[in-house]
Amino acid sequence: MSPRTAARFALAVYLALLFGADAVAGWRIEHRVIVEHGVLTIDHTKTVKQITLAQGQGGFKADHGVGLFQSRLKAELAFGVLVVPGKRLDLTTRISTAPVIYVASELPKDSCAYKLVLGHELKHHDFDLEVLRAMPDEIRRFSPEVFDTDAIERDGALNEARARGRFFQQFNYVYQALGEMRHPLIDSPESYRRLGEQCNGELAKYLPAAQASPGAAKRGK
């Protein structure tokens, strides 16, 4: 490889790292991401049995679930301007949430156990907010990989159904992966053991003869 060729190759690699592969190819993908945070609701009407069942349906099994966080997330993708000759694609993703925390109705609202479980689930809510704050940058980062500009140039149009499917597959993967980096930190056997020892073991007083498990966060859509 000649010095001139090597220099050109190095410049191409630098541009790819700086702007992304699609930027080097000339495409400009503008992706606007709007996150609308719903008001957190505290629900104290569900029983231990109901919360335990909901945890099981969400893949988080527990003998006795006394608390549960759900983000109830909804994401919508809108296609905007597409200029094939000018290699420009504009998109908008709107993320809205309706977060809710369930605390078992068996726990009196003025009890230490209620405050303990609520505090645990609030940590899950905080973790979910961290994930949501990270999502706009993550979406813009993976957009060039999801929207196949080669196919757009070849077909002269965007296959919206295929693009939507690819986008939400990656969206769900990233959202879940970011959550799994955080939520298990407080959903461990050791964490539950420490919670069970607090409030002078008050949680056990309100439950059948088994150790209480505050429960993992379920991130529903």
Per-residue pLDDT for 57 more than 90?
Answer: no
**Which of the 8 DSSP states describes residue 183?**
G
Question: Which segment of 5-19, 44-58, 174-188, 206-220 scores lowest on mean pLDDT?
Answer: 5-19
d(CA 166, CA 161): 9
Coil, strand or helix at 59: coil
d(CA 129, CA 123): 10
Q: Are 124 and 183 in contact (CB under 8 A)?
A: yes
Instruction: Indicate whether 4 belongs to any domain.
Output: no
pLDDT at res. 86: 93
Per-residue pLDDT for 14 more than 60?
Answer: no
- Bridge partners of residue 65, in order along the sequence: 213
Q: Are 27 and 89 in contact (CB under 8 A)?
A: yes
d(CA 161, CA 173): 18
Instruction: Indicate whether 192 belongs to any domain.
Output: yes
Residue-range definition of the domain harbouring residue 91: 19-205
Per-residue pLDDT for 35 more than 80?
Answer: yes
Instruction: Indicate whether 221 belongs to any domain.
Output: no
Sign of the alpha-carbon torsion through 20, 22, 23, 29: negative
pLDDT at res. 110: 94
Instruction: Indicate whether 133 belongs to any domain.
Output: yes
d(CA 15, CA 128): 34
Coil, strand or helix at 65: strand
pLDDT band at 185 (very low <50, low <70, confident <90, very high): confident
Mean pLDDT of the chain: 82
d(CA 203, CA 218): 21
pLDDT at res. 63: 63
d(CA 49, CA 45): 12
pLDDT at res. 126: 94
Instruction: Indicate whether 9 belongs to any domain.
Output: no
Instruction: Indicate whether 176 belongs to any domain.
Output: yes
d(CA 160, CA 74): 19
- Bridge partners of residue 33, in order along the sequence: 93
pLDDT at res. 87: 93
Instruction: Indicate whether 13 belongs to any domain.
Output: no
Q: Model pTM? A: 0.76
pLDDT at res. 18: 42
Total domain count for the chain?
Answer: 1
pLDDT at res. 139: 97
Helices 112-146 and 160-180, axial angle in degrees (round to 10):
140
How many residues make up the chain in this entry? 221
pLDDT at res. 186: 78
Per-residue pLDDT for 59 more than 90?
Answer: no
Instruction: Indicate whether 191 belongs to any domain.
Output: yes
